[in-house]
Structure 1
Amino acid sequence: MTDSQLWSAYIDTVFDVSHGISFPNYAIITAWNPLSIPVSYVKNQEYNMELLRDLTRFQYFPLLAGDREFQWVEESFAVNMTLEDALALGEKYSQNAIYYVSDGELYLYSCIDKRSSHLGPFKDRIIKKP
């Protein structure tokens, strides 16, 4: 995929949230598929275990991020942290972008350049995985 195709895919992402998230501001982050290059489920699990070690000082909940049909899905975390901390972790785990929710509004932030997009209310992006 080209950079613009990836950004469009990130913009279209939806979330399956099994826990109520009560943080006013939080990041949605994963360590899956660094640089958006698909790797095995086992390798992705290893990457997320490394990420979890970095999350021990934060409150977090697991969630799923993916396309509307959940043909593509990544195990992710909603983490009570600052945007700056989230971008630093995104960079550490070679993620192209992270999501950030501020007062109920969802934003997409690039970990590579200064690009960002306001995506609207987070509640509008919550669906249940079929």
Structure 2
Amino acid sequence: MDSELLKAYKNTNYTILARPELCVRIGEAELALREIYPGYSSFCIVTAYNPKSKKTPEADNRRASQRLLQRLKSMSDAHLCAKTVAEDPQQKWPDERGFLVANLSKQDALALGQEFSQHAIVWLQEPRFRAEILICDEV
């Protein structure tokens, strides 16, 4: 992944559409996850939009997102918590819809990102649920 793309991932606002809504930022802790979703020690934010960071028509992105949703529902160890929206504050990238998923191992989360041709996913783990970028291409 080139440095500009990595910078875009790091500058994105990852909004979790929960009650209350949360805005996750890379490098920052999101302790409210413990209160909203007690009992989980890790979460990932994953999308199927814009595979390999190629801007894709909205209809294709929606179909890919539906496939991801079905895949998540079929995973016995995954807990689908909420929908998410990744928003680029510079507006160079369109919003990307995705999902907050709990109870996956880091390896399973990376494999899911790879399965849907993503360069990276967002990972949050106890004790502080500090958001980090996990590069799927290196797995």
Is 1:16 aligned to 2:15, yes or no? yes
Q: Which runs of 5+ in 2 are unaligned?
A: 20-32
In 2, Cα distance between equivalents of 1:18 and 1:52:
15
Contact 1:63 1:78 in 2 (8 A): yes
Superimposed CA distance per residue, residues 10-60 of structure 1 (whole angstroms, 9 cap, x where no aligned partner)? 011112222154143111000100000011111000001111111013221
Aligned to 1:41: 58
- Aligned partner of 1:53: which letter? Q
Q: Say what the alpha-carbon RMSD is for the aligned residues.
A: 1.8
Moved over 2 A (4+): 68-72
Aligned to 2:84: 63
- Aligned partner of 1:41: which letter? E
- Aligned partner of 1:55: which letter? L
Contact 2:47 2:97 in 1 (8 A): yes
In 2, Cα distance between equivalents of 1:110 and 1:13:
15
Contact 2:113 2:136 in 1 (8 A): yes
Contact 1:65 1:75 in 2 (8 A): yes
- Aligned partner of 1:25: which letter? S
Instruction: Report SS of the residue matched to 1:52.
Output: helix
Instruction: Report SS of the residue matched to 1:86.
Output: helix
**1:73 maps to which of 81, 95, 99:** 95
Instruction: Report SS of the residue matched to 2:100.
Output: strand
Contact 2:16 2:100 in 1 (8 A): no
In 2, Cα distance between equivalents of 1:89 and 1:112:
12
* Superposition deviation, residue 69 in structure 1: 5.8
Contact 1:27 1:98 in 2 (8 A): yes
Aligned to 2:138: 113
- Aligned partner of 1:3: which letter? D
Aligned residues: 113
Percent identity (aligned): 28
Contact 2:48 2:118 in 1 (8 A): yes
Aligned to 2:3: 4
Which deviates more, 102-111 or 62-71? 62-71
Is 1:50 aligned to 2:67, yes or no? yes
